[in-house]
Every structure is written in structure tokens, then in C-alpha cells.
Structure 1
């Protein structure tokens, strides 16, 4: 007994052949309807884009999740091609791409970063079809595109099972004939007056209207099935019936008894006074039929559970029955059987069975000497370290890699040694912190390029920091191919242009007025932006420390700060931040640029310029012991990894890092290593 059983996700754990299916399933669950719905979403996405001719990769990912989508355009492709398509989409997502242009120019522009062979083949006919669908401005214009060779072939949208075993095509065209009457009878002469939209937005509105009309249709399934063992129903549909066996799923509050429905027109008290059905009366009926069903059946199973986070508790009927049966005197006509909960192997995931039964086959587990992960959780949550393989003769790292190793060695190994990266196939069309930071660094590089080198007068830099000049440079960056596919093209584009980009211009100008000019007035100086350091960056790494037995391993580092300013008296290191700042990054830059040289004796200052606050923060590291403690902590962490393996992070934020990496990613990595 569970009225939502047919649509619930947990039904996949049950053999469907044992359950009575609805005689007339809804067309909404068919492949035909879901693909039509997908086309509607793509039309809507096209309409909502501020820049025409782009589709979010999240919509492409959702399309690839439906086998019927690939089969419609490429019927000869198998699951192997579909997995290859998803891998190509992961490559694009790894480059922070949000959109694919409908001219497919992205695959030419990013050919060095992403090797996509199948996606262009699949998307070319799909985008051609979307362009035709976007011209729909009436019902007849939409119907004219159905079953046209160069447009939408309805029959090919159906699965083989739907064509062989149901009357889905008959019901589809029957609804279509009724739907077209709105225009034939002259009820609507111009749909633009109804929706007040045009182009792809109007097409999306008309398409959605057709889906709303179609979704209530029910199809007849002619599949010959054996007599089912179980039927599923609701409580009131079991009235005056008895069964050999009753299974009540979700015996929780809100389901049994049901939550009160929203009232309309009259409240519960008014309904009661007018002798109409009200919640208290319905609840009494529920209780009566619930107890009658249970007590008139031979065997009953009740399933309930608790979830404190979601405020879910066993229902009052379940609790009342439990209290009643707790008294031994009430068992005269009832026999109680206690059944231990067992989960069958066939509904456990393959990876879980591997760990539970065949863990000796997992190489890293056996090497760590772990025979029973559940009994040795501390060891289970550590990856074994192989010094020679992981660090070799020289261990090279950037600041971000080193910082990850210190805070979460487990995640460092997954990301930097195994080479696994988080990949979001359904990215939100927003200005992410990473995107904003990348725009900021590109902007700084271009803004500082014209003033790099030796300078004798700070006032000579005034034109380079003029608001109009800065705005023009920023606009040029946003219109470049580098960001064409990465910048959101929905309403967030307005926020980016009107708020965030103006913030960048104002902050760079504030940096000149509040920090640069006061410190360099009347002095000669040298400006060294990040792009100039790119050449020096190739010269090599700087040795930070040695570690391991006999100092057999050497840690070398390199990095690039956003800006250096050198005066006759002082060397400055400045890093611009759009988010949080960590003092250890300044320590890293101080070492890389100057402290590695034991003969260095000039005054050194480092600081963060906080873009959103228009101010400097953490100006310099005042004490030598802070620097020494940082070096010491790195050495301790590296020795801990060598001796005990890679532990997980200590703080909650560190432990959640890379939480989207799944077993599937690990299996893919394992297969790639095996093939190599």
C-alpha cells in the first residue's frame, strides 16, 4: 500500500514483473513525451539567452542522459559512443565552458584544449532542427514541422517497445487533431497577442502549450504479462477488501495519516459546521480503514523510519498500534514474527560488494594491510604513500598544490597525483568565484601591461588608470574568445556587466589612488606584472626544503604573484583577491621571489589587495618565526604522509573538498591506467 509506488525512485529495487501496472499508463513517462519535453527546454534556453545562438552544456548533458536522444540522430551508435560523448562534455566542463554555440565554432576555438570528435557530429543536426523549431509562430506552423524528412519525425522519437506494444502514435495524433482546432475555429488569430513574445520565445510558449495538452493522454499497453503477485493502491481504494498479505510502505506521519490539504474558500471549522468533509472526519475514516485492513488480513508488514534532519517520524497509527501490541494480553488472536532486516546482494552496488566481499582484490587495500575496512576505519580513510613513486627525486609544486597537501593530503593525492578533477556536467549559469577571479587576473594583466618596466614618475601612470581606459580594456576581454563560452548569457549577464565589472574597474582605480600613488610619489620604481614573470617562471623551481630519510626527497616550488613593485628602498609583492586570503600564500611568494636567496637583505613587504573592499589586507609578514613555523609545518606534513599515508582533512571545509568525486571517477581512472 503506497499510492506513489509506481513513480517512486525506490521501485527500481523491485522486480516489476511481480506488480500490477496501470492499465493505461500516462504518456508523460514515454520516451516520446520526454524527448518532446527536451526540445521544449532547449527552445526555452535559446529564448532566455541574452546572446543568440548558444545552448547551455547542462542541457546537452541532460539530453545525453536519454538514450533516445542519441538514437534519434545516430541510430547506429551504441552505449560506447554515448559514454564517449559524456567524456567529451567533461573536457569542455573542465575548461569552465558554460555554453556551446550553435555554429559549433567552439570545437575549433578550443581544439588545443579539448579533443571532441563525436559531439559536433551529434549536435549539428540537432541545432539545425532547433533553428527550424524556433521559427514556430502558430499551431499550424508547428504541425507542419511534424513528420517532415528535414524536421521532426515523430515515429523515430518513440522507443521500439512503445511502437510494438502501445497505441502511443494513435493517441498522439488524436490529441494533435483536437489541439489544432484552436486555430481552425478561429479562437486565436495571432499568438503574439496571446503571449506577447516573438522568435524562439514564442516558439517555446506554443511548444509548451502543446505539451500541456498532450501530457494528460493515457496510452494502452498491449504487452502480455503474467498475473501479478502484488497490486499497489491507496488506503481508501482498499475499503471493504481483505488480502492474504498487506505491505504498508511509508507508515510515517504525513502519509498515514495524511497531512491536511490546503483549504480553499472555507476553513476546517466552517466545513465541520456545514456538515461537509473536514480533516478530523477524514482522519477518523483513515484510522478505521487502516485498522480494518490490517486486522482482516493474514499477514501484515509495516515499514516506518525516522529522519531527524527532515523531521520525519513514524505515523501516529503505527505508533498507536505498537503501543497496543506492547501489552502481552493483547496478543490472544495475533501472532507476532520478528524479521531481521537483510539487504540482498543484488541490490547493492558493485563497488560496495567489492569492498564488502572482495576487498583483497583492491590493490591499495591489500598493500595497506587492511582486511576488514569497517574494523579499521582510521587506516581505511588513509591512502598508502609510495615515496619513490609519489615524490621521486624531486617533488615540484605550485602554491595551490602545496596548500592542498597541507590541508587535505587525501584530496591532494586524488587531484594532483591521480589527476582526477571535479567535473560539473550541470553547471549553473552564474558568475562563479572561479570565473570572476579569472576575469580579474586577465584584466590586471592587460591593465598593467602598458606600464611595466622602469618608471620615474607616478603621475605618468595616470592615463593607464583612467576609468574610461580601464573600462575599454575590460570590455575587450569579455568580448574575446577566451570568455565567449564561459560567461553566463542569462539574467546573470546583466549583473556581471552592471555590478561586478564596474566593481573591478573601481577597485583597480582605488588601488592606484589609495596604495600605489601614495607610496611611489617622488620615487623611481619598477612595475613587474604577472605576465612579465611568465618568462622567468620557466627558468625553474626554487628548493624549499628536503625531507625523508637522509633528506632523499627535495621539495621545489614556483608561483606567480599578480604584481611586484620595486623601489630603491623596498620590494613589494601584491596579490589581488576577489574572495578569501591566506597569509601562507604571501609567505610562499616571499620565499619564491626573495627569501630563497640567503644573501637577500632588502626590505620586503607583501600584501593582498581585496577587490571587493577596495583596501589592502595582511600587509607583510612581520615576524621571522611565522615564516619558520610555516616551513616546519610543511616538513611535518610530508613526513607524516611518508610514514602513515595520506589522511583526510581535519576541518569540515577540507573534508568536503572534491566531494563530487565518485567511485565512477575512480573506476574510470583505474581503467585508463590499465589501458596505458
Structure 2
């Protein structure tokens, strides 16, 4: 093989591509293959040259006469071969457990085929045990493929299959910048030369960096003098990296090509206009509206509860799905229905089912029916047919050209699994067929890619993947995300073998992969005229500068330069990205004025010029400020708390306990007054069971046994204790017992007033007991309580604090079975404190004030108030 070397400053493709005669050009870099075609001009009425990837060359040279299986079909055959003993040894319970293992298995044996490794020796005990299992599976796999008359690419690499037929019209094969040849590829080169083919290799590298005997990259030597002009910047935040890069682009007289080290995970193309930036990549099918819709259906199915006979969807999943535009469009959901769903969430419902569907929530009936139908699917063909019947036109994504075609094509490919006749029954694959098959389909779709419809033909800047972009020369380049662990990529755990064992066997090691990454990084740099490099460094997040940059700086004494824009410029950055005036578009002018920095107190802020002051409203005013009080309690901007937990929420537990106590007092209150009442455990248990049943849709079923044995048992014991000691906790003989006491609606209980507002105390007292000697207020708590709430209840019950009407009060902590008494007379001090607070915040003030406190940093309204920014 003739080896030719191209200097970094020379154009590799101009040196290689020749229009004068037909050749076969072979690449290991797909982007370079595409670029090479642009340099080629097909001769008129002459045979055209072929441009192939190395994998395509192998397929041509080892054609075979059997159907070659790929992807999911191979995984299914692998699973079919597993015995019960295999599953037990490998820790496999169903098909989903085997997917990653099967892919590792096939990649491993494909690598062994590439490196001509027949047997592996000197393994450790655990490795030998696994290897023996895999070797046995490999034998069974080969026999099965023979039986089915199928093949895969590793089985095709046999001497008997080797054929030079497609090269009959070509007399020259040119390998372009192929720096690493596997033993199989070396064997191919040898066979080509034996057959009389001229074989050439063009590498853009220094001759001393390449081992011509082993056909391997052996080093990357940097020149003594660095010809390109290089600037290096370090930043601690990703957004600042992008902003500074854009500033550089705008200031430049000629265009940059941006090479992104973390290209696959970067979303710059979604942030920037297509008229400014062109992103050189197809997009994963997972980004489409259709995939996200299907994924939301799968989540709803996976977490649905069928234990009660009907179907109950997890409300958290339904709320999350409803945040997707595609989901809303498909089921014709509007703002009203979403508000209804959010209301259920705020009321701590855990499940959603037919029972909750009213006129407002009627469109969600279609969702429940959809999941119910999907749950009955039992075969792959049936599942594919069902998905083909979806009205996917509603989910078409105008950002992509071929999303629907890719979807239907994938379903056709999956249907071919059924036609192969490999699977007798899916029952042995999954514990739940519908869930398992749905996940199988989603995983298959994950590997599909779609083309964007974005017209970026006029874009000034192009973004490419640093490690996979083509080997062409560029005048100006900008590198982003040159971070250790990304460029170079971090070492991943190898399948079965250690790094030293891979070296002994002759497989590619991480050190070789790292050397290739180093070559790609420095080749881009050394073939350019000017380079700007941005790297992230953040010790708190364990982000370090790439060792390639450190080597570059050490070799050429390059300084780290200061960026033009830093974190101190964030306010200006935000203003440039978000037009604050646009936030008020479509908002009533009066409301818009209220959301400015000043919020004046006006009579119309209060319905009928009245403020019903509960303990929780008082708590907001006391703990935070009148600004938050207005936004949350008066303007109705209370932040949505959509955190769904698998545990019984404190709010629901509190309501449940209150209802249990209320029901028990109502049942036995008269007997308590008569004296001598002894709590009946069966009655208490009956009441708890009845109330728990009524909370069926608010209590997760995951820990049902735990609730029954621990939580509800504790509540039962607490009720029994409360009823036992209650007569002894109050003075005198009980004359009356009232549960859930509230003031009469027509009763005027004005606490304070001004020209703008009349403030009335309000609330619901859990229990009021009147004896011949005193009155007693009791408040039940399942968590922490505050005696100030008792003081407010005392004022509510006896607002004038008449002489002789002093009230005893206590909190009963249900879970601790403990009474916490309030101080007699403390309501007087509380009344004065409350009046001072209301005078300062509302009565005497002209506007709602934002007062900066340490807790402001955690306030949900900090971005509206901005008090911490001043």
C-alpha cells in the first residue's frame, strides 16, 4: 500500500479527489465523505467513482446470500436463546432487562471479529464465568442463525463470502485519512493488493506520527512554532460561553465555523435564529411532538392503577402530559380543562378516573379510554396496527420534514419481526405485555433521526461536531465546550475486559481512542489560520479545562484571556434576550400598572371592600411582606405546587384526620356529655375505614400496607387516647360540644377598618367545648402547630374579649398524642400585635411594600417583586 502524507495547511480533499479516472474512495469519517463528493466532478459518459464508508466497503466485499439482521431483531433472537439458568445467572427477569446486555454482547463479538480474536484466556474467575456463558450463547446463536437462514455483519466476515465483483471496473482503492486499521481491515488491504488493485492511503499527519507497519496512529507531534493565531478563554457558566462566542462572531470581519465538543447535547440551535446560525445535524426522533406524545401515553399506562377494577391514571402524569402542546392538540384541551385538572392537583388528588370527570373535564375521558384500549394490546402486530390508527396528523411537527414518514416506516420495520416468526408468544417476554411492547417500540424509535425544515441557507455561522466534523481546512474556527471528560471524552467501563486485558488481547484501548481524539482536536487547530477556544471551568461542579488545552498552553506559553462579558453583565444579558415590555402584552392596563414596581392599595383590591383574614393569610403577611400578601392572597397569583409524591401528603392526612375526629365527636358527643363514655375500638376503626375509603383517589396505593399498619393504626390509637382523656382536659361538666365551628355568615365581626377596607377575622375551629365553668377551643394538628392560631381563634370566637369570657385553648398533636396548651390571656397580646401589623401593612400604608429578608431568596415571587435586585 502506498502511503501519502498531506501537510496540515494543505487541502486534504483537493490532494485526494481525482476526476480523471474511476476510483473507490474509502472513509472513516462520514462528514468527510460528504465533503469529498463536493470536490468531485463526474466525467461525462465515463464510469463514476464510488465514495464509501469503511463499513460500506466491508458490506460490498462480504455480500453473502442471507438476509442480514440488525438492531431489535438481534436482541429478540438473543432473548429467545436464554435458558432459565442463563436468566438467573445474568440477573434477567424479562425482555427489558436484556436489551443493554444484548447490545454489549453483539458489539463485543463484532469487535472480536474485527480484531481477529478467536479465544480469550487468563481471565479472572468472575470474568471466566461470564465469558463461558457468552461463548455458549454465541454457539447457540450461530446455530440459530443457520437454522433461520439469517446472518449479521460479524458472521458475514468469512473468507467464503469475500468477493471482488463490485471492483471489476475499478483498479484503484484510496483510503482517506484512515488512521487506524483493524486486523480485518489490514487483511482486506492485503487481499486487494493480491488481486491486483492499487491501494493508496492519504493521511493528513506528520510522517513520524504514523506507524506504517501496524497502520496505526502512534503520536500527535506539535510543531515548534504555532502558526495559527489562538485565543483561549475560560468561563464558569455555559450561557456566558455562548454569549461571548456570539460577541466574537458579531465582531469578526469574516465568518467562523463553530466546532462544539458537546455537540450532541447542546441546544444552541434552539436558542439562536436560523438566519444567524446553521447547525449541521439531523435531530433525534425523540425531539418530535409525536414521540413525546407517545412517551406521555406510555408513562400514563405504566403508572396506571387497575386494582379497583376500573382504570385510574396518576394525576401527576396526566398534568405533566397536559403541559405538552402535542398532547393538548391531540385531545383538544384548552385552558379551562387544564385549570380544572390543576385544581384537582391542588386539592391533592393522586389519581384521575371516570368518577372525577365532569363537564369541564369531559375531554380527558378520551385519554382514559385511550389508555384502557392500549392496556389490552397483547401482540406487536396489534400494537403497531393500533398506533397506525392514531390521528398522527394532529402531531405533525412543522420543524421536521419527515417525522411522520419515519414513524410509519419504523412501524413497518417492527411488523417484520412478527413476519419472521421468531416469537411464538410475547407472554414470556414481559410481565405486562402492553407496557413491554410499548417500551420496545419507543426504544426502537429512539434511534431514528429526522431532517429539519429550517432554512439556514443564509446563515453566517455554521456549528459542527468537533470530534466528527469533516477533515477540511477552515480559516477561522471557534471551539466550544473543550472540557475534560468531553474533549477528550471520559473513559467508560469496558464490557467484560479491563484496559490491560484489552491490550493483551489486541483490542483497541482507551488510550488509543484518546490519541485519536487528540489528533482530531489538534488537526482542526493546526489546519486553521485563527482559532478561538472556549472552555468551562467550575470547581464546584467538578468541571475542568481539557488536558489538550493545558498541553497547548504549556507548549506555546499561551495565556488565558479575560472574556468580555461576565456574570456581572447578567441583567443586561437578560434584558437583551427577554423584552420586558412584551411581558405585559394583552394584559389589562390597570393590572399591568399594578405589576410595576409600585403597588398602590386601593378599595377595589378587596371584594366588597372586605378582607376576610384567616390565620394563613395573617401568616403570609407576618412571615413575608405586604407585596407578597397582595400577589398571593388578593391577586390570586399563588404559585402552583405541582410536586406529586408517592407518599400521603401532609395536607390530605390533615384533612383525613380532621374528618375522622369530627365524625367520632358527632357520633359519641352526647355520650361524652353524659359522662362515663369509654372509647370503642371497633367504632373508631369503622370510622377510619369509612373516611379512608372516601379518600381513595387522594391516597397512593404504593404503600397501602404501610398506611394501614402504621399511619392509620397510629391515628386510631390517637383518637382512642383523645376521647379517653378529653373529659379531664376541660374544667367542669361538659354542657355542649360543637365541631367545625364558624361564625354565622350574617354576623358582623369587624376587627379593623379604613376607607379602603373592612377587615374581618375568619376561620373554622375544629372543636369548641362549653362547660359549666369554662369554654375550651381545641385545634387538631398532624404536624407542627402555632399557638398564635389559637389566639386568632379566641378573637374569632370572642372578639370583644369580654370579662369572664377568657377561653382555654390547646393544640392536640395527633401523631404524638399530646396536648399543647395556649397561655390564658395571650389573645390580648396577639390582638395588639395583629392590629400593629395591619396598621403598618394595610390600614396606614399607601402601597404594598416589598421588604428584603433572608427568606426572599427562596420566595416564589422574587422575579416579580425584584426587591432583592435593588
**2:777 aligned to which of 573, 581, 591:** 573
| Structure-to-structure mapping, 1:238-317, within 5 angstroms | 238=469, 241-267=472-498, 286=517, 289-305=520-536, 310-317=541-548
The TM-score with structure 2 as length reference comes to 0.59
SS at match of 2:304: helix
Structure 1 residue 408 corresponds to structure 2 residue 624: yes
Alignment-derived partner of residue 351 in structure 1: 580
In the TM superposition, what is the alpha-carbon distance from 1:289 to its structure 2 partner? 4.5
SS at match of 1:452: helix
In the TM superposition, what is the alpha-carbon distance from 1:538 to its structure 2 partner? 2.9
SS at match of 2:765: coil
The structure whose residues are more often strand, as a share, is: 2
Alignment-derived partner of residue 814 in structure 2: 611
1:204-238 deviation line (CA, Å, top 9, x unaligned): 22221222233323456798863865554444335
**1:363 aligned to which of 593, 596, 602:** 593
Task: Give the 3 Å change call, closer, same or farther, for CA 193–309 of structure 1 in structure 2.
Answer: same
SS at match of 1:556: strand
Q: Distance in 2 between matches of 1:471 and 1:539?
A: 38
Structure 2: 5+ residue stretches without partners: 1-258, 866-870
Task: Give the 3 Å change call, closer, same or farther, for CA 402–20 of structure 1 in structure 2.
Answer: closer
Task: Give the 3 Å change call, closer, same or farther, for CA 278–143 of structure 1 in structure 2.
Answer: closer
**1:439 aligned to which of 636, 642, 656:** 656
Task: Give the 3 Å change call, closer, same or farther, for CA 287–635 of structure 1 in structure 2.
Answer: farther
Alignment-derived partner of residue 127 in structure 1: 368
Q: Distance in 2 between matches of 1:494 and 1:647?
A: 49
Task: Give the 3 Å change call, closer, same or farther, for CA 434–8 of structure 1 in structure 2.
Answer: farther
Work out whether residues 55 and 99 of structure 1, in 8 Å CA contact, stay in contact via their aligned partners in 2: yes
Q: Distance in 2 between matches of 1:645 and 1:606?
A: 36
SS at match of 1:96: coil
Work out whether residues 43 and 204 of structure 1, in 8 Å CA contact, stay in contact via their aligned partners in 2: yes
Task: Give the 3 Å change call, closer, same or farther, for CA 441–171 of structure 1 in structure 2.
Answer: same
Alignment-derived partner of residue 373 in structure 1: none
Task: Give the 3 Å change call, closer, same or farther, for CA 320–561 of structure 1 in structure 2.
Answer: farther
Structure 1 residue 487 corresponds to structure 2 residue 699: yes
Q: Distance in 2 between matches of 1:387 and 1:71?
A: 41
Q: Distance in 2 between matches of 1:296 and 1:144?
A: 53
Work out whether residues 239 and 293 of structure 1, in 8 Å CA contact, stay in contact via their aligned partners in 2: no
Alignment-derived partner of residue 834 in structure 2: 634
The TM-score with structure 1 as length reference comes to 0.75
**1:656 aligned to which of 858, 861, 864:** 858
Higher mean Cα deviation, 398-407 or 88-97?
Answer: 88-97
Q: Distance in 1 between matches of 2:330 and 2:612?
A: 49
SS at match of 2:803: coil
SS at match of 1:638: helix
SS at match of 2:532: strand
Q: Distance in 2 between matches of 1:169 and 1:394?
A: 59
Structure 1: 5+ residue stretches without partners: 75-80, 109-115, 369-382, 665-676
1:480-522 deviation line (CA, Å, top 9, x unaligned): 3xx344333x414444344322222121112223x3154469x
Structure 1 residue 192 corresponds to structure 2 residue 427: yes
Task: Give the 3 Å change call, closer, same or farther, for CA 258–219 of structure 1 in structure 2.
Answer: closer
Alignment-derived partner of residue 516 in structure 1: 726
| Structure-to-structure mapping, 1:148-547, within 5 angstroms | 148=389, 152-153=390-391, 157-159=395-397, 167-169=405-407, 171-181=409-419, 185-189=421-425, 191-196=426-431, 201-219=432-450, 226=457, 230-238=461-469, 241-267=472-498, 286=517, 289-305=520-536, 310-318=541-549, 339-340=564-565, 348-351=577-580, 363-364=593-594, 368=598, 383-386=599-602, 389=605, 395-409=611-625, 410-424=627-641, 427-452=644-669, 455-460=672-677, 462=678, 465-480=679-694, 483-488=695-700, 490-513=701-724, 515-519=725-729, 524-531=733-740, 533-534=741-742, 536-540=743-747, 542-544=749-751
Task: Give the 3 Å change call, closer, same or farther, for CA 238–69 of structure 1 in structure 2.
Answer: closer
Work out whether residues 570 and 605 of structure 1, in 8 Å CA contact, stay in contact via their aligned partners in 2: yes
The alignment's C-alpha RMSD in Å is: 4.2
**1:68 aligned to which of 326, 344, 349:** 326
Task: Give the 3 Å change call, closer, same or farther, for CA 205–47 of structure 1 in structure 2.
Answer: farther
- In the alignment of these two chains, the number of paired residues is 595
1:430-487 deviation line (CA, Å, top 9, x unaligned): 4211111111112121111123358544323x2xx3222112112222333xx34433
In the TM superposition, what is the alpha-carbon distance from 1:257 to its structure 2 partner? 4.2
Task: Give the 3 Å change call, closer, same or farther, for CA 253–224 of structure 1 in structure 2.
Answer: closer
SS at match of 1:22: coil
Q: Distance in 2 between matches of 1:633 and 1:53?
A: 52
Q: Distance in 2 between matches of 1:517 and 1:26?
A: 70
Task: Give the 3 Å change call, closer, same or farther, for CA 467–128 of structure 1 in structure 2.
Answer: same
In the TM superposition, what is the alpha-carbon distance from 1:612 to its structure 2 partner? 1.5
Work out whether residues 407 and 654 of structure 1, in 8 Å CA contact, stay in contact via their aligned partners in 2: no
Alignment-derived partner of residue 823 in structure 2: 621
In the TM superposition, what is the alpha-carbon distance from 1:582 to its structure 2 partner? 0.9
In the TM superposition, what is the alpha-carbon distance from 1:40 to its structure 2 partner? 1.9
